[in-house]
Amino acid sequence: MPRAAPPAAPEASMRRALLAVLATLMFPVPVSAAPDPSRDVLWAALKTCVLAKRLANRTFPCLSVDLGDGERPGTAVLRAPGEPTHSVVMPTDTVAGLEAPVLRGPRGAAYWRAALAARPFVSDAFKGKLSPDAVGLAVNSARGRSQDQLHIHVDCLRPSVLAALKAHGRQIQRRWSRFPVPLAGDRYYALRVPEAEAARFNPFAVLHTLPGARPDLHRTSFAALATPPGDPEPGYILLAYRAPSASAEDVMDHSCTVADRGA
């Protein structure tokens, strides 16, 4: 995480839990893929899911697997072990992270749509007691992530972030501007994405227009939140910032306390 944080950072705790699951499955992590094999834990789990889908039309340990076709890249959804709502959406092809050039094209938009479609894996866990707008997406920077396979976090948002969006969301326009207040301790730029444009939107491409001296995507992290109920232009708010270990996952609450408030 980019600053002082509780001992068990979200990415690190997920990595440890996945390592335990893979050890149980006796599925070896490929040591040749990276200097630190622990950074390929998600990739190993993903390949297990893809193999199960191809051989037996089963998805374990993933929640879902879409092998794709000639026009649509493959994706999978995996639940973070021990976290009943925290899910990640991953390409079935090798994509290191949001800085990958291939994401600026149609594949980036396809992964965005897959992440939006995965939000019910979070909200359905509460049997109607959680509003869909309480669920967000996040992708961490190269140094803010623990894995070297692109994974889009999908989970509940912090109550404080939802409150800030409700108070200031209407100020966000279709061009980058500073979000009026810090969110989870960080200062973000924000951009409005109207619902009518969401299906063809590509957040990975839009990050190249983020204000600043140069588009250093290795130091960039982003999150996406649905506009709150009553917003005059429904859609999404894209949030992004740059820092050496940028982690927009900080806007999330993996304990999902917002559900207890009936959001």
Query: Burial of 72 by CB count in 10 Å (0-12 exposed, 13-18 middle, 19+ buried)?
Result: middle
pLDDT number for residue 16 = 52
CA distance 155 to 150: 16
pLDDT number for residue 242 = 95
CA distance 33 to 259: 39
Question: pLDDT tens digits, residue range 231-262?
Answer: 999 999 999 999 999 999 999 999 999 887 65
Options 3.40.830.10, 3.30.428.30, 3.40.630.30, 3.40.50.300; CATH of 10-261 = 3.30.428.30
pLDDT number for residue 219 = 95
Q: How many residues does the chain have?
A: 263
Residue 124 vs residues 11, 127, 217, 259: alpha-carbon distances, Å: 23, 5, 33, 11
Residue 158's closest CA among 244, 225, 222, 112?
225
The token pair at 109 is: 């938009």
Question: pLDDT tens digits, residue range 172-203?
Answer: 999 999 999 999 999 999 999 999 999 999 99
pLDDT at 29 over 80: no
Question: pLDDT tens digits, residue range 45-85?
Answer: 999 999 999 999 999 999 999 999 988 999 999 998 788 89
pLDDT, greater one: 260 or 4: 260
The token pair at 115 is: 């992440």
pLDDT number for residue 251 = 98
What residues does each domain of the chain span?
10-261
Record the pTM: 0.86
Scan for tokens 């979070």, then name that residue. 122
CA distance 10 to 155: 12
pLDDT number for residue 21 = 46
pLDDT at 159 over 80: yes
The maximal CA–CA distance of the chain, rounded, in angstroms, is 52
pLDDT number for residue 26 = 32
Span 209-221, average pLDDT? 88
Residue 35 binned pLDDT confidence (cut-offs 50, 70, 90): low
pLDDT number for residue 252 = 97
The token pair at 95 is: 């994509």
pLDDT at 27 over 70: no
The token pair at 75 is: 């994706």
pLDDT number for residue 214 = 73
CA distance 122 to 134: 10
Q: In whole numbers, what is the pLDDT of the chain averaged over residues?
A: 87
